[in-house]
Chain A
Amino acid sequence: MNSLKEHLKILQKVKRHKYHPIIHKIHKKYKISKKTLLYVKEYGPHSNVSRSIIKESLKILLFASLISSFGGLALESAKTVFVSIMPLIILLPALNDMIGDYGIIISSRFSTMLHTGELKGKWHKNKDLRETFLLLLIISFMTAVISAGIALAISFFSGYETAFTSAQKIFFISIIDSLFLVSALFIISIIGGIHFFKKNEDPDNFLIPLTTSIADLGNMIILAGLTLLFF
């Protein structure tokens, strides 16, 4: 164990940008994953922690935030109608969160299946994958109904009266939006996941930012479209 500590101290002294053979040596000798060793090296005494984080995160954060804002462009075009329907305003952040979370769940589950070799043969015949898809469709349907119901209830208690037909439309918008995007995110995760995996890259690093951004963008485009169509 002392020998391990000594090795880790040597690793912390390695300059950040250099790949040192000691990484491979510790990985082989002590069976410590290269990701763990990367963490030790990245945030060692020779690194500027905040600068490393800012440098590595800035591009993807800007990309994800700007993509979400582009979704807002669609809503701006339907703004007059949209802001006049209180339950839809209440639903907006909830749907964004929910669908973004489904993007994370689908991406991370599919990446894990690829890494663990669970996905053998044709993906559309895989039992686990079909089960996950069915499960997410059921949950997304239920959460869409619950969130629309609560949004209508909050609106009602705030003094906003919603006609029965309008309430039906709001339920319909919430359900269609959720089911369509969960299905689309599933397909994107599968195609993207297989693509990155074949290129020997970790799908986790690409799929999560990609699917959450697409979820936000898609959610706002669909919300804007359906709002204009129904109201």
Chain B
Amino acid sequence: MERFSQKFKEIFSSQLVSIFGGLIAGTFLAVYTDELLMIPGMLILIPGFLEMRGNISGSLASRITSGLFLGIVSPNKVHTKLVRGNIYASFVLVMIVSFALGILACLFNFITLGIFTPKIIIVPIVAAVMSSLIEIPITITATFYLFRKGHDPNNIIGPLVSSTGDVTSILSLIIAMVIL
């Protein structure tokens, strides 16, 4: 029973963090429904965009954490070849996947509505640049900070980056829609 209770606490608390981020992102979505959700193809773009952000930041944190535990990455030295390579790779991956998602949404609009919407290809790319400028530093800083404080970042960083990722992604998409 004690083990059941311990597991319950661990899972439930991490899920609460996840819900919190998701609900903030959802509130932004609801407030900006006209600017975002009413655009044809946006409901195709948004889930993939959120999934991508969480996956890329999660694996970035996980790779850095493995390096920290193995002693290959120094906890006090962020500017190394390995960390820079990880950051660059994450940025390139975000760009490629965003472009693919934009193409998919554009194709959907063309096939179902018969309209060509190049804007829906550009919006996720611009949003990806903005969200990466916020999300990658958050992920790197949090991973190094948690490790230096003696925590295992693997246990905390997942819900943290998926929550912050949701919020920054939705905000970036809204800003991209407004400026383009």
Contact = CB atoms under 8 A, between A and B. Distances in A.
Contacts, number: 196
B56 to A, nearest CB: 7
Given A50-B88, A61-B93, A105-B11, A97 B163 contact: yes
B26 A83 contact: no
Contacts of B59: 57
Nearest to A219: B47
Given A40-B72, A93-B29, A54 B89 contact: yes
Contacts of A222: none
B159 A101 contact: yes
Interface stretch (A23-31, A64-72, A116-124): A64-72
B105 to A, nearest CB: 7
B63 interface: yes
Contacts of B85: 43, 48-50, 53
A101 B108 CA distance: 29
B44 A53 contact: no
Given A39-B66, A54-B96, 13 more contacts: A43-B82, A49-B81, A49-B84, A50-B89, A61-B97, A64-B55, A69-B48, A72-B44, A93-B22, A93-B25, A93-B170, A97-B21, A98-B18
Interface of A: 36, 39-40, 43, 48-54, 57-58, 61-62, 64-66, 68-73, 75-76, 79, 82-83, 86, 89-98, 100-101, 104-105, 131-132, 135-136, 138-139, 142-143, 146-147, 150-151, 154-155, 158, 212-213, 216, 220
